[in-house]
Amino acid sequence: MSSPRFAAFAGSWSRPSKTRLLVEDISARAVAQFGGSAHVFDVADLGEDFGTLRNVANGPHQPHLDAFLQADALIVASPVYKGSYTGLFKHFIDLIDPAHLAGKPVLLAASGGGDRHALVIEHQLRPVFGFFEAHTLATGVYVSSRDFDDNGLLPGPVAERADRAVAQFGAHLAPRIQPLRAAG
């Protein structure tokens, strides 16, 4: 098999966005470990009329949707909004036929202002992707504002957790793809 294709979706409309920075950072870690490429996008890339979209027929969202569906592995993150994922994050997921995500490995991540919403991955995101029969990785990555600088995740426990989560793609990509380097 050729190099893996990762797709990383940030469910944030804002720019700049910590959630976008998070998926960029995690996808860079995935490509560094397994090679291949990553297609990174967020809600703002899907077009200004995305919120009213009812089907997935052509539009500015199409290249992103195609990359998402054709990826070997997914990285998805949402900012925490009122204790859950954003509505436009869910809208994007709702437009996908459930059969298209069955068996696909998914790294779940979320960003929030503090630690009080850290369980959003377990209580909100994991059930959504369970419905789609995706293989959610055991380790999710929740980050708060203090875990970032302008370049991405700061070194420390959260960056180590991101590396641990990315390494879990190996079980789903193997034996087709061998890691380029060990997680560290």
Contacts of 99 (CB under 8 A, 6+ apart): none
183 assigned to some structural domain: no
For residue 1, what pLDDT is reported? Answer: 47
pLDDT at 99 over 80: yes
Provide the CATH number for the domain around residue 163.
3.40.50.360
Per the CB < 8 A criterion, the answer to whether 128 and 93 are in contact is yes
Domains of the chain: total: 1
178 assigned to some structural domain: no
Kindly state the average pLDDT of the residues 56-78.
86
Look over the chain and give the mean of its residue pLDDT values, rounded to a whole number: 88
91 assigned to some structural domain: yes
55 assigned to some structural domain: yes
Kindly state the average pLDDT of the residues 19-37.
96
- Residue 132's domain comprises 5-173
